[in-house]
Amino acid sequence: MTAVQTKSKAKNQANSQATGTSDARIESLIALIDTLTALVAAENAELAKGLPASRLKQVDEKSRLAEMFERIVAECAAGTTSLNVRDRMLREQLLERILKLRAAMDENLLRLRAAIEASNRRIEAVMQAIREQIAAVSPYGASGRLAARAVSSGTSRSA
């Protein structure tokens, strides 16, 4: 083998290894997206049942996975990581998964907003009931002065 052939072979092996590493990174990213999408879909199903957002068990795991995903996206945007996908099918899988995640996250945002609004309505109803109860037993009127209490006067017929 000549020196040129040896260099060419080494270059091809390096490219093949780089492509394999890149593909493995893409497959890992797809797995992360799939896990995050499944978690968000489960959270959406629970929110659809009317569970308050504070009672959801997926919150911590969703946050952890979302941070991992955001870090990868930030690295790509900064140019410190490259996700060059040469395999067309792998690229299509990645794009498909990203679109599914986006749809699940859009639904999640709507459901979380609705859950927060429902929680706020419940809190306001409880606060209104407390205000009414306090007003009913308070010796003070709206002006801050002692409220005149209605006194019943009746006659006793027992003698």
Q: What is the pLDDT of residues 30-41, one digit of tens each?
A: 999 999 999 999
DSSP H helices, the chain, are: 3-48, 59-78, 88-137
- 157: in domain: no
What is the reported pLDDT for 132?
86
Rg (CA), the chain: 32
| Number of domains forming the structure of the chain | 1
Q: Answer whether residue 48 is part of any domain.
A: yes
d(CA 25, CA 83): 8
151 in a domain, yes or no? no
132 part of a folded domain: yes
Residue 102 lies in a domain: yes
Question: Picking from 6-10, 46-50, 147-151, which range would have the lowest pLDDT averaged per residue?
Answer: 6-10
- The verdict on residue 46 lying in a domain is yes
Per the model's pLDDT, the better-predicted residue between 132 and 146 turns out to be 132
Closest CA to 68 of 81, 79, 87, 56: 81
**pLDDT class for 20, splitting at 50, 70, 90?**
low
pLDDT of residue 16: 47
Domain that holds residue 98: 11-137
15 pLDDT exceeds 50? no
The reply to whether 114 falls in a domain is yes
pLDDT value of position 144? 73
Summarize pLDDT for 22-72 with one digit per residue, the tens. Answer: 788 899 999 999 999 999 999 999 888 887 766 677 788 899 999 999 998
Q: What is the pTM of this model?
A: 0.66
Give domain status of residue 143, yes or no: no
